[in-house]
Amino acid sequence: MKKSIYVCLMISGLLLAGASSLSAKLAFTPRLNLSEEYNDNFFLDEKDEEKIFISNFSPGINIRYAPNRRLDFNLDYALDFRFHDRLNEYDLTDPEDIQLLSLKSQVRPAERFYIDVSDVFEKVPIDVRRRTVEGNPLVNKTSSNVFIISPALTIPLTSSISTALGYSFNSTWYDVEEALDYYSHSASLTLSKKFSGKITGALKYNYYAYRVGLEPVQVPVGDYDRHDASVLISYQASPRLRFSGEAGRSRFKFDVSDDSNANFYNVMAELKSGSTDDIVSRIYYAETFHDAATTGTYERKDASILLRMDRPLNFTVRPYYIVDKYLSQDREDKLTGVTADIKRPLSERTDIVLGGSYEKQRFIPEGEKAVQFDARWDFNYRVTEKMTAGLGYRYAGRNSNVDTTDFKNNIVVISAKVSF
């Protein structure tokens, strides 16, 4: 599965090699990020806190290519080298450990027919129950590659009725044995009806096939097939107020357990306000099914409220409540929390970014109760049009009734970012 990253780079090389006559359509932006970090608890340990300095060297490139209305191509690729003043065995220099890639592309071979391609190679958390801090690539983190290709075709039947055919292939790989490499196929058929300028409804059928990779796994998770049938509706009450919803039923056919049925649905309301629609409020609730890295399929109940404001400062706050119940294990995770981010320009050259999160966790049947939190700020100064210097601080921690999972962590970072 890791081969997809090399396919992406090969495609990028071919595009660049043939783009000399279309240079106006090509945006090619190299960059270099440098930073020096002080970390007072490198292993996120409760007692044995390892203080360390970390030097980061990260060259990268962004390629955007849109030669005509039939192709949009966006690739971001970087190498994230990390060197430690001690503990050199944890230096990150191996190409398989330092690559970061994000590819998004859409090809439109014909009218109403398009093919979406995405490929993401990054560090991801292994298990929400373990200690983790954003920016720490070693503790409870692994490399992951997710490749997705999705062709879709829309066929108008009348002026108000259309049908859509879709297919999606997903190949997911993890660089740890305990995580589940898998691939999936999904095929869908949707019949849509526009009842008026404000109301649109649809009937949808989706088939999903989940296949675990060939490596042996440590949990009782096997292949399964899922059939979904649902009804969708969208109501544009006004130019600024929109409602949408979906309700349906799923049929699971498992290889390693009994077949089962379950309902799923989601509802959303969104309101835009302000003189230029720069304030967005959104309420969302859903009961859906997902596949986890280490524990197989789970049902998620997700309720959240989003408030976003773009002026006079960028501000986003999102309280949420999540319950994940796993189908192949006696496990349930309950998460209640809030995230907030603020970005405010201080002058033409400087800005400050503030952010934080607070999450209460309850894990069943073990009975663990924990609180995980972080607070951070970043001060950025634009030295020139191509160079930005920064100073940042992050405080993160976790308190649990299982003391071995507690930790506190302070990180200070000095950085410089240069684009060419």
For the four alpha carbons of 10, 12, 15 and 20, in that order, the dihedral sign comes to negative
pLDDT number for residue 297: 87
For the four alpha carbons of 132, 137, 140 and 145, in that order, the dihedral sign comes to positive
pLDDT number for residue 196: 95
CA distance 282 to 321: 15
pLDDT number for residue 4: 55
What is the helix (H) or strand (E) element at residue 284, kind and residue range? strand 279-292
CA distance 406 to 46: 5
pLDDT number for residue 23: 56
pLDDT number for residue 26: 86
Q: Which residues pair with 251 in a beta bridge?
A: 227, 261
pLDDT number for residue 295: 78
Which among 271, 288, 289 is positioned nearest to 280, based on CA atoms? 271
Q: Which residues pair with 225 in a beta bridge?
A: 209, 253
- Between CA 250 and CA 369, with CA 267 as vertex, the angle to 5 degrees is 80
pLDDT number for residue 261: 93
Q: Please count the helices (runs of H) and the strands (runs of E) in the chain.
A: 2, 21
Q: Judge whether 268 and 241 are in contact, CB under 8 Å.
A: no
pLDDT number for residue 72: 93
pLDDT values of the chain reduced to their tens digit, one per residue, 420 residues: 455 555 555 555 545 544 444 555 889 999 999 999 999 999 999 888 899 999 999 999 999 999 888 999 999 999 999 999 988 999 999 988 899 999 999 999 999 999 999 999 999 998 888 888 888 888 999 999 999 999 999 999 999 999 999 999 999 999 988 888 899 999 999 999 999 999 999 999 999 999 987 555 545 567 899 999 999 999 999 999 999 999 999 999 988 778 889 999 999 999 999 777 789 999 999 999 998 888 778 999 999 999 999 888 899 999 999 999 998 788 999 999 999 999 999 999 999 999 999 999 999 999 999 999 999 999 999 999 999 999 999 999 999 998 778 999 999 999 999 999
Kindly tell me the burial class for residue 398, based on how many C-beta atoms sit within 10 Å of its own C-beta (0-12, 13-18, 19 or more).
buried
Which among 346, 268, 341, 350 is positioned nearest to 310, based on CA atoms? 341
